Amino acid sequence: MTDLQQMGQAARAASRQLATLKTDAKNAALRAIADELEAQAAHILAQNALDIADGEARGLSPALLDRLLLNEKRLAALAADTRHIVSLPDPVGAEIAGRVLPNGMRLAKRRIPIGVIGVIYEARPNVTIDVATLCLKAGNATILRGGSETRRSNLALVEAIQAALGRVGLPQAAVQYIADPDRALVTELLRLDKYVDMIIPRGGNALHRLCREQSTIPVITGGIGICHIFVDESADLARAVDIVENAKVQRPSVCNALDTVLVHRAVAPQFLPAMAARLARHRVELRATPDALAILQADASGITVVPAGPDDFDTEWLALILGVKIVENLEEAIAHIQEHSTEHSDSILTNNWANATRFVDALNSSAVFVNASTRFNDGGQFGLGAEVAVSTQKLHARGPMGLEELTTYKWVVFGDGHIRP
């Protein structure tokens, strides 16, 4: 039986110890985790292979299996990412702002850990390492709950983390995993407000809705991306093809992959055939509006193209499928994105600075790009190290949640016998 109350108590105790750790001690733990991942690589990959085999037997989609997969290269990258976090500045204790008041008291705003963070996620064992290591550097304890499809992989990864923590003399309860598949435990975790300070769900709309409706703990939602690129009439079309290709196919199963391309009518006859020819190499299926469909069906690239359905522009594909729409101008592109975007990642390809400025000002996605792929909305690409999530809500963090986003702050006041008059 899983006793979440006991796990919560242990996590709270561990968080108090982590909150006062010096940077050197936290970095030593991170190095030990990286070493342990490499030492236990054979066991971790064997457990992941069993998860993959079960997933294939259950008929999981190729996109989901790709999210689930660990191989030597990906595991080595997780160890490298963990060592990279060692090099990042420790946010804990940093002074955000300070001033001396007229009465002589000194006021300071200082970063502190959030405390205990609960993370509920699906099908991505790399999240186990990303969350545990970032939270550790920011002085937070974690309680993790992954999907049943990655149970063996996650348990193997947590075993490696806890072995490393024990080796450097830190509490193993700093990183705990709910292994029991009973879904009632998710609801129980969402109401463990006596011990847990923040919930971060990483999954689909159903999981996010469950957390918002059931949690008595503050929830940070994000990671669902219906991402757009608008190809303006002034865009460099050769570069635009490269960017669309990268945004769609470099890793289609992730949240910052491209879902819809909007093309200015003036350049659609040139751009769409060139784009189709490039994407045909990757067997991308296009879902197009009637005017775009007419251009694409006349093309000889061999691309698969079908009429766009009523829900296609509200779908996060996570697969080699791309929505295509022709728009009359910048304002129609902005209106389409405002209606269909999840405010994750949106980009304009243009050589018109006024249009770029208008696009950036009008859209409030967590990351807005000019002449760049949406795939850059990522903690590592932004120089934050790994990330625990990409937040699309307005509070308390937006975009990739790195170390600073895993802290809050307290006011510290230095007086000299001051009393309030």
* Among candidate residues 209, 201, 230, the one with its CA nearest the CA of residue 340: 230
Query: Residue 202 pairs with which residues in a beta bridge?
Result: 121
Same domain, 72 and 126: yes
Question: Number of folded domains in the chain?
Answer: 2
Neighbours of 394 (CB within 10 A): 10
Same domain, 29 and 71: yes
Strands, E assignment, 27-70? none
Please give the average per-residue pLDDT across 178-196, as a whole number.
95
Specify the residue for token string 């971790």.
Answer: 44
* Region for residue 222 given its phi and psi (left: phi exceeds 0; alpha: psi -120 to 50; beta: otherwise): left
Residue 391 inside a domain? The answer is: no
Model-level pTM?
0.85
Q: How far apart are CA 117 and CA 143, in angstroms?
A: 6
Confirm if 371 and 243 have CB atoms less than 8 A apart.
Answer: yes
> Mean pLDDT over all residues of the chain?
94
Domain of residue 240, residue span: 227-376
Residue-level pLDDT at 223:
67
Residue-level pLDDT at 299:
75
The type of residue at 410 is K
Please give the average per-residue pLDDT across 80-90, as a whole number.
94
Query: Residue 238 pairs with which residues in a beta bridge?
Result: none
pLDDT tier for residue 72 given thresholds of 50, 70 and 90: very high
Q: How far apart are CA 245 and CA 294, in angstroms?
A: 21
Same domain, 268 and 358: yes
Same domain, 193 and 253: no
- Which token pair is 193? 């407000």
Residues in the chain: 421
Confirm if 66 and 74 have CB atoms less than 8 A apart.
Answer: no
pLDDT tier for residue 29 given thresholds of 50, 70 and 90: very high
Same domain, 26 and 168: yes
Same domain, 188 and 242: no
Same domain, 51 and 171: yes
Q: What is the pLDDT of residues 96-149, one digit of tens each?
A: 999 999 999 999 999 999 999 999 998 789 999 999 999 999 999 999 999 999
Q: How far apart are CA 140 and CA 143, in angstroms?
A: 10
